[in-house]
Structure 1
Amino acid sequence: MKRYLILEDGTVFAGEAFGAQTASFGEVVFNTSMTGYQEILSDPSYCGQIVTMTYPLQGNYGINSDDFESIDPAVKGMVVREAADFPSNFRSTMSLSELLEKKGIPGIAGIDTRKLTRLIRVNGSIKGILTAAGEEPDVEQVVEKLKETPLPTDQVAQVSITRPYPSPGRGKRVVLIDYGMKHGILRELNKRKCDVIVVPHNTSAQEILAWGPDGVMLSNGPGDPKNVPECVEVVGELLGEVPIFGICLGHQLFARACGAETFKLKFGHRGGNHPVRDLVTGKIEITSQNHGYAVDEETLQGTRLKVTHSALNDGTNEGLAHLDYPAFTVQYHPESSPGPEDSNYLFDRFLEMMNAQRKEQQHA
């Protein structure tokens, strides 16, 4: 059956429907990863977005039970050049289309994804609608609706848990604040035997400190950090009380808590092939990224923050460290999933920071 992707500027793409039969509205973005569509679809940071995959073939190795980054995907739709009908992989339990159908997510295949990607690169991320399968839309009416409908501002609340839960270990106790956490972060902490307590995004600093953490992890998540000022306030209250490691949205919230500002990128960074320079060592890391906002380095003066990492593609900020307290953050995803594992060592750095803090407290 036919399906249409209609953009706010009036551009229309006609293609083949796969996945759910329903229509969907969201911000249309693109991801440059060659593999990892399952992790991308289940990344809560895509809440409210329709994701265009630039690599032409998707779904060729199917869907398995091991590679989900969340239980219920929050993505609003998927756009591909070709969706494989018959996946081939020993771990595959269903096709990409079957997963999308089960989760109520529409997909469109057979369109010129190169044209769509160029359009987004030139004009920026844009609102769009995936029509219901088989529906012949009134384009003018749909465009008018798109212009009138605002993008959501409550994405963090949509994807965060509502009650704390433990992921037990015998090592350092880490409170992981869930702003839209990828399970890869939890996996990396568990690998290092951390005793993790995952808490909702709106947990107070007092509640977090009452758990007696050796460190606090600020997770990734969707949307504009300006939309969650209460989260910024909590990070500010935790700063100096306990070692902090932040990723993606956690990085932006940390920067704002220290007095810096953030801004929206034209079309964001989404993919598993983004080069980043570590300004401390000079090494280049290939990183996995998914964000539409960035820290404004021009606002860092007077914040007691130093820049530790920089994006080679556009020079935007990719990492910060506090000059007075044990706290550091990165804009990219060291847990990968999908993507390269060049930056996995940052979890070990967090562990070292917690150990050093514990020794200081014992000597005090």
Structure 2
Amino acid sequence: MKAFLILEDKTVFEGQSIGATKEVISEIVFNTSMTGYLEVLTDPSYAGQAVVMTYPLIGNYGICREDMESKRAWPDGYIVRELSRLPSNFRSEDSIENFLKEQDISGIAGIDTRALTKILREKGTMNGCITTNQSYNIDEIVEKLKRYKAGKVVEKVTCNQKSVLKAKGKKVALLDLGAKNNIAQSLNDRGCEVTIYPALTKAAEIIKANPDGIMLSNGPGDPKDCESIIQEIKELYNSNIPIFAICLGHQLMALATGGDTHKMKYGHRGGNHPVKDLSTGRVYISSQNHGYVVDVDKMPEGIANISFVNVNDKTIEGLEYLNKNIFTVQFHPEACPGPQDSSFLFDKFIKMMEVKKDA
């Protein structure tokens, strides 16, 4: 079946329908990962977006549900150059085509994803529509695209109730803003007992549980839409409990302490982003997925020092908060997909909790 991708600037790509056939309108973003398409599809940070995979062949090793980063897929749409019809891998349980249908995700294959990515890089991220309607009215669709906003997506992706990953080590409270499974798993593998809380949990409840540390997770959407969560993070900041924050959690901590964020032209999404540790000068290759960034010039003086910067565009990739047991990063040390160069940050967090406990 024919399918069309219509962009806000009236560019139209024609390809073949994959997955579900419903019409979707979403923000179109691109991911440069060469592998890990299942982890991308099941990353809650993609809620409210349709993902373009820049790697030309997707699905060649099939679907292995053990690798899923949440219980379901989250993107509104999926856009690829070529979709593998015959996966080959001893772990494969299904094809990506069947997975997209099962998850009710509309997609399009057979388009020039390189040309599409160049448009998004040059003009910036924009909204788009995936449709199988061959008699579409482009002016009507573009009008809908201009009105589309993802809205408050954190509430849609967070867990419904508290849960616990048991262990005998440090007790960590994980605020689920759209957390990938591997964040909790990375802590649990290091002996931490992880209690996962819904995003709208009050700070008082977390503080009352007396955790050794608090983790603020990744998540989707504009951080400034999380007004009530930011107010609770202000209380967590003042609690003196060690805190480690990733991605959206990093942005929300900056907002909670008087900083600011802005939307990037096309964001960082992929497993090949270099970040520089300013304390050592060492560069790590990181996994990233974000469209917003903390403003370099708008962090209040005396609150935090910049700890990591992006080598390509010099944006803030990490903050160390002064006179606090708090550090945050924009990238994903848990990876999945992506390199695990920066997984040592989990060990740093555990060490911080140990020192705090001894004190």
Q: Shorter-chain TM-score: which interval? A: over 0.9
Contact (CA 8 Å) 2:26, 2:48: kept in 1 or not?
Answer: yes
Aligned to 2:280: 281
Q: Distance in 2 between matches of 1:240 and 1:359?
A: 20
The alpha carbon displacement at 1:193 in A equals: 1.2
> SS at the partner of 2:309?
strand
What pairs up with 1:312-351 in 2 under 5 angstroms?
Answer: 312-351=311-350
Greater CA drift, 8-17 or 235-244: 235-244
Aligned to 1:2: 2
Contact (CA 8 Å) 1:260, 1:303: kept in 2 or not?
Answer: no
Q: Distance in 2 between matches of 1:347 and 1:137?
A: 50
| Cα-to-partner distance string for 1:149-199 (whole Å, 9 max, x where unaligned) | 321221101101121111111110000000000001011011011111100
Contact (CA 8 Å) 1:258, 1:303: kept in 2 or not?
Answer: no
Aligned to 2:301: 302
Aligned to 1:37: 37
1:237 equivalent in alignment to 2:235: yes
Q: Distance in 2 between matches of 1:301 and 1:207?
A: 29
1:101 equivalent in alignment to 2:111: no
1:126 equivalent in alignment to 2:123: no
| Cα-to-partner distance string for 1:248-303 (whole Å, 9 max, x where unaligned) | 00000011111110010000000000000000111100000000000001012325
> SS at the partner of 1:202?
coil
**Residue identity in the other structure for 2:29:** V
Q: Distance in 1 between matches of 2:128 and 2:300?
A: 38
1:150 equivalent in alignment to 2:148: yes
Greater CA drift, 252-261 or 345-354: 252-261
Contact (CA 8 Å) 1:50, 1:78: kept in 2 or not?
Answer: yes
**Residue identity in the other structure for 1:220:** N
Q: What is the identity percentage for the equivalent residue pairs of Structure 1 and Structure 2? A: 49
The alpha carbon displacement at 1:224 in A equals: 0.8
| Cα-to-partner distance string for 1:36-83 (whole Å, 9 max, x where unaligned) | 100000000000101001110000000012110011211111111000
> SS at the partner of 2:235?
helix
Count of residue correspondences: 358
Question: Unaligned 5+ residue runs, structure 1?
Answer: none
Contact (CA 8 Å) 1:57, 1:80: kept in 2 or not?
Answer: yes
Q: Distance in 2 between matches of 1:356 and 1:51?
A: 42
**Residue identity in the other structure for 1:84:** S
Contact (CA 8 Å) 1:259, 1:303: kept in 2 or not?
Answer: no
Greater CA drift, 289-298 or 66-75: 66-75
Contact (CA 8 Å) 1:262, 1:294: kept in 2 or not?
Answer: yes
What pairs up with 1:107-256 in 2 under 5 angstroms?
Answer: 107-132=107-132, 135-147=134-146, 149-241=147-239, 242-256=241-255
**Residue identity in the other structure for 2:151:** T
Contact (CA 8 Å) 1:53, 1:80: kept in 2 or not?
Answer: yes
Q: Distance in 1 between matches of 2:242 and 2:223?
A: 21
Q: Distance in 1 between matches of 2:274 and 2:263?
A: 20
> SS at the partner of 2:268?
strand
Instruction: Provide the TM-score with structure 1 as the length reference.
Output: 0.97
Question: Unaligned 5+ residue runs, structure 2?
Answer: none
Contact (CA 8 Å) 2:258, 2:300: kept in 1 or not?
Answer: no
| Cα-to-partner distance string for 1:96-154 (whole Å, 9 max, x where unaligned) | 1110000000111100101100000011110011114x64422222112222x321221
Q: Distance in 2 between matches of 1:137 and 1:278?
A: 50
Q: Distance in 2 between matches of 1:266 and 1:308?
A: 23
Q: Distance in 1 between matches of 2:301 and 2:46?
A: 33
> SS at the partner of 1:298?
helix
1:56 equivalent in alignment to 2:56: yes
> SS at the partner of 2:67?
coil
> SS at the partner of 1:223?
coil
What pairs up with 1:11-30 in 2 under 5 angstroms?
Answer: 11-30=11-30
Contact (CA 8 Å) 1:60, 1:86: kept in 2 or not?
Answer: yes
Q: Distance in 2 between matches of 1:228 and 1:33?
A: 28
